[in-house]
Structure 1
């Protein structure tokens, strides 16, 4: 069906009257005829007006055709495929195939399919799902190539934007969307969706366990183990007797690790067990042997920010595999004595020479400079029972768009609150608000006090 994006532009077709008028009135001069009397001139003029006819018809048609094409072009013609009015779409995220939750919802999907709904993958291009893939609860050969080509790692994290795209692709059609109930799937801005969208999130029973960090403390090896499922991510700390170099460390639910000590430091390297075909290489885990050195540079206006930050860091130190060496200074530190972490709490810009220190492994946290602008938002929660943190002020400084950054914390509207970008072996963190619960005027909050103390602990998690 041909539709016009700007139908009002068709008013330009009124311009077709212009070449018609030119061809009617711009007649060539008549031939002069010598007559002996003027008594017939008035009658001849009247007959000329009654016999107005366009001349040079091909030139007239060319002029009118050019004006008509211009008017239709301004109207924005677009060809859209006409879809059945009573038909709907079932959009399924590929991550759900094979999960128990999706198998339990199969009767609902079958009922919608019998009513005329089409089955499609929630991926780029919305490719159709074969009935064989639905029947066996797996991505079959007929679907695997199309799904793997349409699904991207970044697209899985922006399901909201994908559903908005589907609502525009299938206008006026009911959409039944099925996605996993994972928070990472809802990044980006989240504007309103049409009433035709029915969205159901399904739990994913899969869980994962890994070693987050490791370090030596006296005669012990301290390990921080992480575990994640569909509801939350938790961490716990265990200590075992310090193994000898080359010894194998075995933990329940985890692959075996071998302790290797080399010139670059100590490492826990996964040990390959079983057949080589089923083995998936895992990265080695560095084992720290010295304290974690953190420096806080805070000017006078950021003194209260520094106090909340120190409280949060001391609380988070209980979960570190190594002791914490914390230093607060009002003198700008130099990169020659670069710590593991630098918290830059100042309106002054971060010196460019710290870029090389970040390439060598230093991580820099910079708080938002200036007073910012008022805002009313809440930090997006990462756990089901977490209390949302209120954010009352945001920075007006624009991040460096030339360097790609990844939002670690976002508010309920999908706007980044804490952004992160990797730089060599280190990283740079930009906070879009203030840890100070009171503005300099003492009347307006930036971030709730409890959240300010918990912020470093949340970053550690």
Structure 2
């Protein structure tokens, strides 16, 4: 057995406490003078010894409880030796989800197969694992704990699953892309326009991710019974996609004296976004006042030194910050944002002011998230390979199991027993 926090073992010095209490709490002998002892019953020696034994058992019980608590705090773990493999094979779960997918890997030994998901569980035939959001680099670090000298990883090589810094591993790993020639082309949602319905379709393959918008006359579409979905034809057959109403956005820009130039750049950026996204954006200019309220505003641009009134709308306040890294930074709440630099022609062109403003509007957040789900752009095998540490060390073939949970149950049982014994012995 090993301990993750061995420094807590110094707490075993607490065993001196119940020992000291036991000796200090012994009743002092009281001498009583009597005239005759013929009427005093002699104490049975066996009963006296029993009393002493019971008190000693109580002392041992208390000492054991303290030692057990110290051991739990030190986080004990049981180590066992596990068999070590020459090569471990790790599969992205969707590659083994179908019989056709499993047939491609028949030549690979069944022993030593693991799934590329949290915890890297060992794969057994007919194992069903829900494939959630993950990224390859994070799971690559967990491969260090696999009982094998090297690892071969079979993945779809999705570019969206590669995030963060490329890890450096002690274990040799080889990443092999599979199914990199697939492609997706399907409609994902529709938006109601004034005289038609606009269908948004996404296309993705190993190198491309794009979407297109196709207007369809209202009398040429078929809706479901609740009128919130549109029937479309796909490669798999008929399907329904959600219908969203046309967006009508109201922006209120509060402009104080001295901010007219900045308001001009903001107004030009909003008009460009409205044309680019084909969104109906209404811009209203106001001056700050004590009675200013925003009952129906979706967005507020605050160009004033006055205090911004409380509002539930998404706000953009102008406040220069020379240490900021972006033109628009998050503020003090999820709906509060700060515009950090004075605008001029160079800033607007070189730092992409309209792009930052478009990100702040976040008009198509739902659409972007759905398009990213259909993103199947891939990386090459060379781009997926992890770094190998120069000074490699052999990872011991041991497995550890935390036994703290069982010890807590024993501790609770002993505490109850100690209270019962102490109550009976009046200790």
- For 2:185, the equivalent position in structure 1 comes to 208
2:236 matched to 1:283? no
2:307 matched to 1:330? no
2:267 matched to 1:366? no
Contact 1:226 1:235 in 2 (8 A): yes
2:412 matched to 1:454? no
Q: How far does the alpha carbon of each residue in 1:179-218 deviate from its partner, in whole angstroms, 9 at most, with x for none? A: 444455468xx58856247584844723233265556678
Q: Distance in 1 between matches of 2:214 and 2:352?
A: 27
For this pair of structures, how many residues does the alignment match? 324
Return closer, same or farther for 1:31/1:76 CA change in 2, 3 Å cut-off: same
- For 1:45, the equivalent position in structure 2 comes to none
RMSD in angstroms over aligned alpha carbons? Answer: 5.5
Q: Distance in 2 between matches of 1:279 and 1:309?
A: 46
Return closer, same or farther for 1:20/1:259 CA change in 2, 3 Å cut-off: closer
Match of 2:204 among 228, 248, 267: 228
Contact 1:3 1:77 in 2 (8 A): yes
Match runs of 1:348-363 below 5 Å: 348=308, 351-352=311-312
- Matched residue SS, 1:123: coil
Return closer, same or farther for 1:349/1:287 CA change in 2, 3 Å cut-off: closer
Q: Distance in 2 between matches of 1:233 and 1:333?
A: 42
> Whose RCO is larger (CA < 8 A, sep 6+)?
2
Q: Distance in 2 between matches of 1:431 and 1:201?
A: 44
- Matched residue SS, 2:210: strand
Q: Distance in 2 between matches of 1:88 and 1:431?
A: 52
Contact 1:177 1:200 in 2 (8 A): yes
- Matched residue SS, 2:239: coil
Q: CA deviation at 1:453?
A: 1.0
- Matched residue SS, 2:94: helix
Return closer, same or farther for 1:222/1:5 CA change in 2, 3 Å cut-off: closer
Match runs of 1:200-279 below 5 Å: 200=175, 202=177, 203=180, 205-210=182-187, 213=190, 225-237=201-213, 243=217, 246-247=219-220, 258=221, 269-270=230-231, 279=237
Match of 1:195 among 169, 175, 179: 169
Contact 2:328 2:356 in 1 (8 A): no
- For 1:402, the equivalent position in structure 2 comes to none
Q: Distance in 2 between matches of 1:19 and 1:293?
A: 75
Q: Distance in 1 between matches of 2:6 and 2:86?
A: 27
TM-score (normalizing by structure 2): 0.53
- For 1:299, the equivalent position in structure 2 comes to 254
Return closer, same or farther for 1:31/1:225 CA change in 2, 3 Å cut-off: closer
Q: Distance in 2 between matches of 1:200 and 1:307?
A: 52
Q: How far does the alpha carbon of each residue in 1:236-275 deviate from its partner, in whole angstroms, 9 at most, with x for none? A: 4556xx74x543xxxxxxxxxx2679998xx88315799x
Q: How far does the alpha carbon of each residue in 1:303-355 deviate from its partner, in whole angstroms, 9 at most, with x for none? A: 677555544444444454x574542413567545x6xxx32223625525xxx
Q: Distance in 2 between matches of 1:432 and 1:201?
A: 43
Contact 1:343 1:365 in 2 (8 A): yes
Contact 2:190 2:241 in 1 (8 A): no
Contact 1:181 1:204 in 2 (8 A): no
- For 2:379, the equivalent position in structure 1 comes to none
Return closer, same or farther for 1:4/1:396 CA change in 2, 3 Å cut-off: farther
Q: CA deviation at 1:234?
A: 1.8
Contact 1:374 1:394 in 2 (8 A): no
- Matched residue SS, 2:240: coil
Q: CA deviation at 1:7?
A: 0.5
Return closer, same or farther for 1:222/1:23 CA change in 2, 3 Å cut-off: closer
Contact 1:181 1:230 in 2 (8 A): no
TM-score (normalizing by structure 1): 0.50
Structure 2: give runs of 5+ residues left out of the alignment: 32-51, 369-427
Contact 1:368 1:395 in 2 (8 A): no
Contact 1:345 1:367 in 2 (8 A): yes
- Matched residue SS, 1:345: strand
Q: Distance in 2 between matches of 1:87 and 1:299?
A: 68
- For 1:75, the equivalent position in structure 2 comes to 74
Q: How far does the alpha carbon of each residue in 1:338-382 deviate from its partner, in whole angstroms, 9 at most, with x for none? A: 6xxx32223625525xxxxxxxxxxx5433676679455xxxxxx
Structure 1: give runs of 5+ residues left out of the alignment: 33-53, 133-141, 248-257, 353-363, 377-390, 400-429
Q: CA deviation at 1:9?
A: 1.1
Contact 1:175 1:196 in 2 (8 A): no
Q: How far does the alpha carbon of each residue in 1:404-432 deviate from its partner, in whole angstroms, 9 at most, with x for none? A: xxxxxxxxxxxxxxxxxxxxxxxxxx475
Q: CA deviation at 1:8?
A: 0.9
Return closer, same or farther for 1:60/1:78 CA change in 2, 3 Å cut-off: same
Q: CA deviation at 1:77?
A: 1.6
Q: CA deviation at 1:282?
A: 1.1
Return closer, same or farther for 1:221/1:229 CA change in 2, 3 Å cut-off: same
